[in-house]
Amino acid sequence: MILEARGLFAKRGFYGASISQIAGMLGMTKQTLLHHFQTKEKLYGLVLEQIASELVSLRPSSEEGTESSERLVDYFCALVADTPEDTERSQLLMRELLDNPSRADRTRKWPLGPFLKDLTEMTRATPGWSNASDARILAVIIQILGSVHYYSVSEPTVRSIFGPDLAGSINAIYEQQLRVSIRAILSAGAAS
């Protein structure tokens, strides 16, 4: 149920997906769906919790000999969508940032908060970032996540406009360029 709701939320956003649409897609009544989840907000929260779990599970292990900055670069590159499910994840994350402000005050707990805190800790563990403020680190994280998720949601459009061959070439170049950009940001350190 959550996966199906996730697809509809990704396509239409929180406000664009109705309980009736979700229930119909699942072949159940609105009342049955509400019996299981009580509110659309709770169902949406479960979708976001599922995404947060996925994001945390992508975190690379602390392998000996691998610098913390390279683990962080690998982590951001692992977030680049290359499957329909990952694209939905990126769409939902971008929609969440657009739709969330009016709900944020009511929710009190944002399911993606631990993911951002984890990224903050990973960034702080890289050379030159140990004394950086949370604001500086989060500004960098948001910049990189913006690039990753914007690229992920634009890939189907690029493929449609320019064709699969060029889109495939862009994919290979994008990851290389993303790695270069993240390394440059991290090596500049927090003082820049």
pLDDT for 64 equals 56
CATH number, residue 173: 1.10.357.10
Segment 58-62 shows an average pLDDT of 75
Q: What confidence score (pLDDT) does residue 89 get?
A: 85
Give the residue-averaged pLDDT of 83-100. Answer: 76
Give the domain range for residue 119.
2-188
Total-model pTM? 0.78
Q: Count CB atoms within 10 A of the CB of residue 70.
A: 17
Q: How far apart are CA 151 and CA 168, in angstroms?
A: 13
Number of domains in the chain: 1
How does DSSP assign 157-178, residue by residue?
A: HHHHHH-HHHHHHHHHHHHHHH
pLDDT of 163: 93
Tell me the average pLDDT of the chain: 85
Average pLDDT over residues 130-135: 92
Residues, the chain? 192
In terms of pLDDT, which residue wins out, 83 or 18?
A: 18
For residue 123, pLDDT over 90 is answered with yes
Q: DSSP letters of 50-119?
A: HHHHHHHHTPPP--TT--HHHHHHHHHHHTS--SHHHHHHHHHHHHHHHHTHHHHHHHSS-TTHHHHHHH
Mean pLDDT of 18-34: 91
